[in-house]
Structure 1
């Protein structure tokens, strides 16, 4: 079987308990430079989960994703706009996200990317629907909750296309995500609402 890999070693160590990051409103300045890559990823995913409209999602996405991002959800490639449907923006109300595990591998060699890191996260999320957008898809009457579990692997790297004046030039260049609705109401990726 060979010697244990660093991934096995990291998984066997007790996890450090970090305080839960509370996302701040989009219009506030947040010093993300001091965050580790996994903290940075959690912070930005929480911001995406707490958006309440597609416009808010687009604002958060521009601060989180590279312009040319590769997004795969449950084996299917998605555009950035279609990816918005997988988050709270689709449900018309913000959600609550809870991270249950994380792994970070800094200094990954990825062609054409500098200072790349791989971050893997496990999370559970609940989105409440108080509108009628999900009613047509699910056939249920409002309001109801969508409870989902997900594992997500993200490649974060320095985005050289951003101006030098940008304080934190890290962006997400690749997303590979598996999402499931624990209640079996929805099948991801969502295509339209």
Structure 2
């Protein structure tokens, strides 16, 4: 099982002591577990995805030449309860924050960042509908209603000019007689 050390150091700080840390982990494992032959194989250090000020290093751990599972690795490498443990001293010296799975922690973080809760989506949809209703009302008030008033005014003007022209025709008829 591939595991990961998370350090409270920047990538640049940890890169200087990367190889030394690998040797010290080997020595601490030999002192803390003399009955078993533990080996740790570190990969290249990288910036942690959750915090850019942290560094993470994935690793494989073997006991007597066999790759070990997560539980065995965690029980062997998690020596924080024993104060006099060499691993505890090493972890404190190198500012190790956590030991976790290497590839399983990255995927859920990406998925949870993309997924929005249903309530948030409902609120966004409701606000979008209200904005559309507001735009429709403003359009109606600004354009359609003013256009109707303009047509009514034109209609009144046309009726007024028709009455006036009818009056002139009538007056003209009176003069001819």
TM-score bracket for this pair, using the shorter chain length:
under 0.3
TM-score by length of 2: 0.23
Which structure has the bigger radius of gyration? 2
Of Structure 1 and Structure 2, the greater helix share is in: 2
Asked which structure has the greater RCO (Cα within 8 Å, sep 6+), the reply is 2
* TM-score under structure 1 length normalisation: 0.21
Q: Which has the higher strand share?
A: 1
